[in-house]
Structures are given as C-alpha cells and as structure tokens.
Amino acid sequence: MQQTQKIALTAIFAALHTTLSLFPGPVDFRSWIILITPLEGIILGPAMGFSAASMGYLLGWFIRPRAEPIIFGLGEPIGALTAGLIAQKKWPHALLLYTGMLLAFFAYPLTATIPIWTLWDTYIAFICIFIFAIISRTQLARKLPILLGFAAFIGTEADVLTRIFILIPLNGYQWWGIPAQLLPSIFILGAFQTPIEAVISVAAAIIIGVPLIKTLQKSKTLNFET
C-alpha cells in the first residue's frame, strides 16, 4: 500500500470512527466504535490503526462529550493497535502488553476487593494469544475468518484491559469520582456487559472485514498477507 493510500484510508477510518462514536452502543459508556476498532488495526496496521482510532475518538469525544474522563478513550487506539499486531502475527508484542497490564492490576492493593473472576473474558483473550502463537505458523492462520476472529477478539479485550488499567492501577476511578466501594459492583456488571462487545466486534470483523479486505486486495489498494 502506498503512503498516500495509507493516509487516505486512515482518514476514512478516522471519519467512520468519529461517526460511530456519536451513537451510544449496547454497553454502558460505550458506542458503536466496537464495529470498526479492530478493523482499523487489521487493515491499516498497528501504527496507522492506532492513529485512526485516536483521531476518531478525540473528534467524537469533542462532538459528543461523555461522562468518562477523556483518557479512558486510550483503550480504543490500544485495541486497534493490538488487533493489528495479531493480524501481522506479532503476537509477542500483544502478549507483552497484556502481561504488563494484568500484572499491574493484580499488584495494586485495591484489586483485593474486586472479584477476579469478573475479568474472565480478558483471561480467555490472554490464553488466545498463546493459542494463536501455536497456530500462527499453520494453515489455519492463513484462513482469513480465523485470523480476523483472533485479531478482533484479542484487540477488543485489549481495549477493555486498558480501561481497567486506567481505572485501577492509574487511579482513574478517583478522577471519575467513583467511590472505591462501588468498584466490585461495577466489575460484576462489566463481567456480563463486556463480552457482548467482544461478540459484536468479532462478528463485525468477519462479516465486514473479509469482503472488505478481499475487495481492497483486488483493487491493489491493500497487500494483506495471511
């Protein structure tokens, strides 16, 4: 992909991200960006995907300000970046990112008050990185739906984990004015809500991503290798 094409696609995805962020999604405090975030990283690559998601989130936040502090939006570009890393089979980078944030979460004293089972979907995504590492050199990883499914799921959960990292180890709950005693209830609610995001993201990545990538390949706009 030429640099001008990358810039044009980045601008298109940033505009789509902005538009989708204006509509409340199926989960509290989120929007329909869950449809597009993994695809930003998968199609544009980790760096450009991060840029598109960052621009999209910031523009969307200023057009439709949200209750959450703006720093929580960092989860969206991190999610796009992680999906891009998996799509390019750079799973060690994703593993390092997950490991660092999970260790920081478990090392924080306040974590002792939070039911650790509530991160069950994030644990599954962490395990999926190891599964992907095993199949990344096999023919399975060359099948576009499987590659996109892994990338979307791990990327979406990286978004969730980033928000958790900001909320707890970085004391984001204090910036947001959330009493510490409410955090266990918030995490229990999230244990049922965030998997909905993951299912929608994976479905969108496969249903939209497969034909989109094939179209871009045919038009010579994208050189996407599986």
pLDDT at position 223 is 67
In a domain, 93, yes or no: yes
pLDDT at position 224 is 66
Angle formed by the axes of helices 120-135 and 183-207, nearest 10°: 40
pLDDT at position 68 is 79
In a domain, 225, yes or no: no
CA separation for the pair 187, 182 (Å, rounded): 9
In a domain, 226, yes or no: no
Q: How do residues 144-177 score in pLDDT, each as one tens digit?
A: 999 999 999 999 999 999 999 999 999 999 988 8
pLDDT at position 119 is 97
Q: What is the CA radius of gyration of the chain?
A: 17
In a domain, 135, yes or no: yes
Report the predicted TM-score, pTM, of the whole model to 2 decimal places. 0.93
* Domain at 178, CATH number: 1.10.1760
Domains contained in the chain, number: 1
In a domain, 224, yes or no: no
Residue 138, phi-psi category: left (phi > 0), alpha (psi -120 to 50), beta (remainder): beta
pLDDT at position 77 is 96
DSSP letter string over 86-118? HHTT-HHHHHHHHHHHHHHHHHSGGGGGS-GGG
Distances (CA, A) of 37 to 17, 52, 117, 158, 161: 7, 9, 26, 11, 15
147: tokens are: 């590659």
In a domain, 164, yes or no: yes
For 155, the domain range is 3-218
Q: How do residues 78-98 score in pLDDT, each as one tens digit?
A: 999 999 999 999 999 999 999
Residues of the chain with pLDDT under 50: none
